[in-house]
């Protein structure tokens, strides 16, 4: 058996084919897994456990079914950080902290969404600090569903406009930040998403070999990282 890692699905009504692919994945490959980890941005936007969008209902039901036989772990992304206990109850999944170390077949491995590693993008980091503030979140959750949807639409438009004007390198991880974070957690292996730049990066960390796996996004097709006792390898879905 293997442990599966996915991220950045951005499920929404705008891409029904990806929604269906995710259902196929949950009903197929994921059922044979030892565990499933979703490392952020499962949804295009999660605006509170009290207002589950119709587009997400099938995915939530499928996660609930899968979780009855396979452990499912989900990490916050930069689009769905308002998931709470209600989400856990609906899906049977366990929400993870933003930085988690697991024993991956004998190798201590750090799991992250990855956005906090992009420290060169100072505008995004400032925005992130704002929306992760408990006061800001409480104010948002006090708004009506219609108001939340409108605010999400507004922020999405702002994000698209800003992203189009940024140099590509700014939106990638900062290698020094990566190394500092791995040292903090005493690991030589890191798995994350967010950047939409799937790859295996091998480098030296304090004179020892280290690895950083970047997960594939699901904008066009699906992908996963399959890890077992022998190795981790990327695979299309």
- At 14-24, the pLDDT tens digits run 999 999 999 99
Q: What is the CATH number of the domain that holds 204?
A: 3.60.21.10
pTM strictly above 0.85? yes
Task: Quote the pLDDT of residue 104.
Answer: 98
Task: Quote the pLDDT of residue 164.
Answer: 67
Q: Hey, is 208 helix, strand or coil?
A: strand
Task: Quote the pLDDT of residue 165.
Answer: 62
Q: What's the mean pLDDT in 54-59?
A: 94
Give, in degrees to the nearest 5, the angle at Cα 215 between 210 and 217. Answer: 160
Locate tokens 């890692």: which residue?
5
Whole-number Å distance between alpha carbons of 60 and 57: 5
- The count of domains in the chain is 1
Of 223, 221, 180, nearest to 199 by C-alpha is 223
Task: Quote the pLDDT of residue 73.
Answer: 98
pLDDT at residue 173 greater than cutoff 90: yes
What band does 158 get if pLDDT is binned at 50, 70 and 90? confident
Which pLDDT tens digit goes with each residue over 160-171? 777 766 676 678
Task: Quote the pLDDT of residue 162.
Answer: 73
* Domain encompassing residue 197: 3-236
Element (H, E) at 153: helix 145-164
Which pLDDT tens digit goes with each residue over 77-86? 998 999 999 9
Which pLDDT tens digit goes with each residue over 182-205? 999 999 999 999 999 999 999 999
Q: What's the mean pLDDT in 164-182?
A: 86
Which pLDDT tens digit goes with each residue over 105-133? 999 999 999 999 999 999 999 999 999 99
Of 47, 77, 78, 83, nearest to 63 by C-alpha is 83
Whole-number Å distance between alpha carbons of 74 and 51: 19
Of 203, 199, 176, 177, nearest to 189 by C-alpha is 203
């Amino acid at each position: 058996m293997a442990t599966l890692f996915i991220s950045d699905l951005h499920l929404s009504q705008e891409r029904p084919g990806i929604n269906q692919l995710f259902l196929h994945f949950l009903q197929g490959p994921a059922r044979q897994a030892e565990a499933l980890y979703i490392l952020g941005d499962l949804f295009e936007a999660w605006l509170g456990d009290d207002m589950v969008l119709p587009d997400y209902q099938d995915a939530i039901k499928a996660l609930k079914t899968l979780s009855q036989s396979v452990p499912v772990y989900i990490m916050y992304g930069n689009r769905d950080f308002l998931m709470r206990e209600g989400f856990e109850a609906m899906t049977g999944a366990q929400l993870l902290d933003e930085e988690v170390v697991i024993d991956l077949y004998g190798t201590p491995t750090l799991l992250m969404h990855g956005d906090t590693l992009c420290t060169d993008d100072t505008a995004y980091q400032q925005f992130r600090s704002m929306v992760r503030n408990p006061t800001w979140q409480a104010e948002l959750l006090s708004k009506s569903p219609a108001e939340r949807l409108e605010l999400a639409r507004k922020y999405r438009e702002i994000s698209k406009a800003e992203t189009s004007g940024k140099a590509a390198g700014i939106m990638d991880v900062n290698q020094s930040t990566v190394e500092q974070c791995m040292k903090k957690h005493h690991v030589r292996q890191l798995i994350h998403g967010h950047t939409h730049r799937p790859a295996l990066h091998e480098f030296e960390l304090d004179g020892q070999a280290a690895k950083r796996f970047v997960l594939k996004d699901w904008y066009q097709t699906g992908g996963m990282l399959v890890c077992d006792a022998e190795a981790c390898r990327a695979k299309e879905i």
